């Protein structure tokens, strides 16, 4: 799939100065996320700790983690795209070395990634980091 | 007389703050209400002037704290028309009140007994009874709702049986706003010799309660939904039923005599109130009730109905919006879904505009499943909301709709 990378996203968002534009951008990213077929919306792939449903499937290929994610809320799909830009198709070492807090700070969307927001971003970041540690071991 | 809403708003400091750079439009009142200055002052005054433990100190402050604390009990008793003030048991909230009763009932339930609840329960009034039944082998009967979100009264009557030992139902549904005919249903249950509990978490927020008129055995509510502090609630029970109700928490304050090997229980209300209570909370709740009672109940009702009527009308004019819960007799709540938008997306985009609503399952997962929705967006109204805020809500919803389209 054709995902923007983290630098592109940071650049794009920097240009947009009101919240409407910024979230329209997130919504559009969300709509472009390929998602998962309905048949893959399984209990076992659900990530706990989200207000809307978030599913995550991962596989390892050539030392890299491939991630497939989906949500039933489009803004969460957009936020997931931000996470995919950082983590999809990366080695466990790259994933663990990536400074996700700094990345989100640069996106200036912090109030979405506090644990209490309940949109599951924290949960998904934690889950991916855990997967990376696991496959490193 | 009309309510002077502008003057009421003046008394709620939080309503003057901004959220996300916009003036706060607070429409999450079914979750919790904001607090008027009178309540905030009562808490501050208690801690600055009077703090002491109650019922035990041999000193001036303890006497004064006890007096204020027991006066608060009297205020609540009068407000809900209790027979005697000993019938008012302080709890931490509705959830604790229901748990106390369910725990007591569970000790008496046996296989073959039936407990009746409804499809519109908040988890607090469902999981409690479901677990009490599991522990005792009793069975849980669930009264269905009609398509419009009202309770199916016929089914209520046909599910009531000679085996029904307990009926627990919400006065008003938090997810749908439906007002249940609790007096009529209580009478039917009492005719079968069942005990009746009303989950009054929402009921208490929309008008004066008369527990004797309802005729129930228990009525539970939370202070925080009635402009009072969090962490304080009330379990009202009739004296006859409460006087030998199984004690739950044991320890200080609730005993009459104690030896190393045995203890005897004190009188009501103490026997059901172990430990140092939430003194400030009780005093704060009484301040909230005093504050509320300066207004005419009919004026409050008329104002809330006007808010809901306007919201309903605008909702019906909004493309792709479906109202969830259309009962004729409803108050306070507009629950809805929008085509092609997840409730979480709507809540998020409204929040960005300074508008606070609740989204999700409203602690009623089985109800959401029954209604075949993933959850709803819910705006809930109270005394300090304005018709202008209803307009802002719909401007916000329309903006969200365009962004998500
Ligand atoms: C109908 C109903 N019952 C019970 C509760 C639980 O109240 P609390 O969380 O204050 O104990 C609520 C609160 O949302 C409610 O709306």
> How confident is the model over B342-352, as a mean pLDDT?
94
Q: Where are the alpha helices (DSSP H) in B47-204?
A: 60-79, 94-108, 127-136, 153-159, 182-191
The end-to-end CA distance of chain B, in Å, is 44
Interface probe with B: pick from A75, A78, A117, A120, most Cβ of B within 10 Å:
A75
ipTM confidence score: 0.88
What does the pLDDT read at residue A109?
75
R_g of chain B, CA atoms, integer Å: 22
Residue A111 lies in a domain: yes
Q: Is B95 in the pocket of ligand 1 (CB under 6 A)?
A: yes
User: In this structure, what CATH number is given to the domain that contains residue A86?
Assistant: 3.90.1010.10
Query: Hey, is the C-beta of A24 within 8 angstroms of any chain B C-beta?
Result: yes
The count of domains in chain A is 1
Q: Is B99 in the pocket of ligand 1 (CB under 6 A)?
A: no
What does the pLDDT read at residue B1?
63
Helix (H) or strand (E) holding A92: helix A92-97
What does the pLDDT read at residue A50?
67
- Whole-model pTM: value is 0.94
Rounded CA separation A51/A73 (Å)? 9
Strand order in the sheet with B333-338: B321-323, B333-338, B376-380, B358-360
Interface probe with A: pick from B21, B360, B404, B405, most Cβ of A within 10 Å:
B404
Q: pLDDT tens digit string along B99-111?
A: 999 999 999 999 9
Residue B402 distance to chain A (closest CA, Å): 10
What does the pLDDT read at residue A136?
82
Pairing of strands B139-143, B164-170: unpaired
Using a 10 angstrom Cβ sphere, with 0-12 exposed, 13-18 middle and 19 or more buried, the burial of residue B140 is: middle
Secondary structure (DSSP) of B162-173: TTEEEEEEESB-
Structural domains present in chain B: 5-30+296-404 (3.90.1150.10), 41-292 (3.40.640.10)
Rounded CA separation B192/A74 (Å)? 51
Using a 10 angstrom Cβ sphere, with 0-12 exposed, 13-18 middle and 19 or more buried, the burial of residue B30 is: buried
Domain hosting A35: range is 6-136
Determine contact, residues B50/B241, Cβ cutoff 8 Å.
no
Residue A96 lies in a domain: yes
Q: Which atom of ligand 1 is the closest one to the Cα of B97?
A: 11
* Active centre residues of A (catalytic): 50
pLDDT for A44 beyond 80: yes
Q: Chain B contacts of A52, Cβ < 8 Å?
A: 342, 344, 374
In percent, how much of chain B has pLDDT > 90?
97
| B348·A75 Cβ contact <8 A | yes
B145 forms bridges with which residues in the sheet? B151
Residue A1 lies in a domain: no
Mean pLDDT check: name the lowest of A16-25, A104-113, B309-318: A104-113
């Amino acid at each position: 799939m054709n995902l923007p990378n983290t630098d592109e996203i940071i650049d794009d968002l920097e240009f947009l100065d009101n919240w409407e534009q910024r979230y329209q951008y997130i919504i559009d990213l969300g709509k472009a996320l390929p998602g998962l077929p309905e048949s893959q919306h399984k209990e076992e792939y659900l990530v706990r700790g989200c207000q809307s449903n978030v599913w995550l499937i991962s596989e390892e290929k050539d030392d890299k983690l491939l991630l497939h994610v989906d949500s039933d809320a489009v803004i969460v799909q957009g936020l997931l795209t931000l996470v995919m830009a950082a983590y999809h198709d990366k080695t466990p070492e790259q994933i663990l070395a990536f400074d996700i807090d700094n990345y989100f700070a640069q996106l200036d969307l912090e109030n979405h990634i506090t644990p209490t927001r309940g949109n599951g971003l924290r949960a998904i970041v934690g889950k991916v980091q855990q997967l990376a540690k696991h496959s490193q071991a | 007389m009309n309510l002077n809403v502008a003057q009421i708003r003046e008394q709620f400091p939080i309503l003057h703050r901004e959220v996300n750079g916009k003036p706060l439009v607070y429409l999450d009142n079914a979750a919790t209400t904001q607090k008027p200055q009178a309540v905030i002052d009562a808490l501050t005054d208690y801690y600055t002037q009077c703090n002491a433990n109650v019922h035990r100190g041999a000193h001036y402050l303890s006497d004064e704290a006890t007096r204020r604390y027991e006066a608060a009990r009297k205020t609540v008793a009068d407000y809900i028309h209790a027979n005697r003030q000993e019938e008012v048991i302080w709890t931490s909230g509705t959830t604790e009140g229901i748990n106390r009763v369910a725990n007591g009932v569970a000790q008496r339930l046996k296989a073959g007994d039936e407990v009746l609840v409804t499809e519109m329960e908040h988890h607090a009034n469902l999981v409690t009874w479901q677990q009490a039944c599991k522990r005792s082998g009793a069975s849980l009967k669930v009264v269905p709702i009609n398509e419009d979100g009202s309770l199916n009264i016929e089914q209520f009557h046909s599910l009531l049986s000679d085996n029904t030992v307990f009926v627990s139902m919400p006065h008003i549904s938090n997810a749908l706003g439906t007002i249940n005919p609790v007096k009529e249903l209580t009478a039917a249950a009492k005719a079968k010799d069942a005990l009746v509990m009303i989950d009054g978490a929402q009921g208490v927020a929309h008008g004066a309660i008369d527990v004797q008129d309802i005729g129930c055995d228990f009525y539970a509510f939370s202070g925080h939904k009635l402009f009072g502090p969090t962490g304080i609630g009330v379990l009202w029970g009739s004296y006859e039923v409460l006087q030998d109700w199984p004690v739950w928490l044991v320890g200080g304050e609730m005993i009459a005599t104690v030896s190393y090997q045995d203890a005897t229980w004190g009188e009501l209300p103490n026997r059901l109130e172990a430990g140092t209570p939430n003194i400030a909370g009780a005093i704060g709740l009484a301040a909230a009730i005093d504050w509320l009672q300066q207004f005419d109940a009919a004026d409050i009702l008329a104002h809330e109905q006007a808010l809901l009527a306007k919201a309903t009308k605008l909702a019906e004019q909004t493309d792709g919006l479906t109202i969830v819960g259309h009962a004729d007799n409803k108050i306070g709540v507009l629950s809805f879904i929008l085509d092609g938008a997840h409730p979480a997306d709507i809540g998020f985009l409204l929040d960005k505009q300074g508008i606070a609503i609740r989204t999700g399952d409203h602690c009623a997962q089985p109800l959401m499943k029954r209604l075949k929705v993933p959850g709803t967006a819910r705006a809930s109204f109270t005394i300090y909301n304005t018709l202008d805020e209803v307009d802002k809500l719909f401007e916000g919803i329309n903006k969200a709709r365009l962004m998500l389209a």
